[in-house]
Amino acid sequence: MELFLKILAAVPMTLLVTLASFTLGAVIALPLAATRRSRFILVRGIGKLIIDILRGVPPVVFVFVLFFGLGADIIRWEPLPAAIVGLGLISAGQLSEIYRGGMLAVHRGQYEASAALGLTGASTFASVIGPQAFRVAIPGMVTWLISLLKDSSIVSTIGVVEMMFIANQSARSSADGLMPFVIAAIMYIALGTPLAVLSRWLEKKLSFGRSA
């Protein structure tokens, strides 16, 4: 019971890391997704390269590069900001692809109609394409949020005191090595399941006109 409460007390930190890096990623992903539709091949190429790197490097390696690599002499930072920036950038890579999928799902005619109405590029995106693309992207975004919740466990390796950190510490210091991990697993599942249900519900709700 004491163990349970100890791990429970670390839930806010797990949620903080997850939500902060998701928010950071959701914002950075916007310009990143925009590069993929640029007129200039160089911009498209660089955008694709950045996204491939962010998606291709294992999250823990990326966080290590930021924390131990850059942290050694370039920027000295605490584990928490390093964790949020690291997972945030990885989220940006993933979410930009989800946004792109959303934009591809909007019919070409919508762009043409906006152009015919004389809308500027910005207002085409803000009031015509954006809202429709976002609708398609939402279930994918929730799915990524669930993955991110689980990936947030890796930041325990750089010393952020979240659920996994406490579980690992308890397993090492107490006689019972199994229980802390069982409790941590249950907590992750308990946090992730409502999100999974939400994702499924949103997918049904938002798939207008399309047979799921």
Partner 1 sequence: METLTNWLEWSPTMLQGLWVSLQVTLLALLFGVPLGLVLAVLSGFKNRVVKWIVIIYIEVGRGMPALVMLQMVYFGLPDAGIVLSSYTATVVALALTTSAYTSEIIRAGLRAVPEGEIEAANALGLKSSDTMRFIIAPQGFRIALPTLLGFAILILQVSSLAFTLGLPELLSQAYSIGASTFQYLSALTLAGIMYLIITVPGGWLVEGLEKRMSRHLV
CB-CB neighbours of 41 under 10 Å = 8
| Residue 148 near residue 87 (C-beta atoms within 8 A) | yes
Determine if 157 is a binding residue for partner 1 (CB under 8 A): yes
Nearer to partner 1, 56 or 131 (CB): 56
CA separation for the pair 166, 179 (Å, rounded): 12
Categorise residue 159: left if φ over 0, alpha if ψ from -120 to 50, beta otherwise: left
Nearer to partner 1, 18 or 35 (CB): 18
CB-CB neighbours of 196 under 10 Å = 13
Instruction: Please count the residues of this chain forming the interface with partner 1, following the rule CB under 8 A.
Output: 44
For helices 11-35 and 130-151, angle between their N-to-C axes, nearest 10 degrees: 140
**Choice from 33, 153, 160, 199 touching partner 1 (CB under 8 A):** 153
From residue 9 to residue 48, the character string flagging contacts with partner 1 as x (rule: CB under 8 A) and all else as - is ----------------------------------------
**Residues that bind partner 1 in the complex, under the rule CB under 8 A:** 52-53, 55-62, 64-65, 68-74, 150-151, 153-154, 156-157, 164, 167-168, 171-172, 176-182, 184-185, 188-189, 192-193, 196
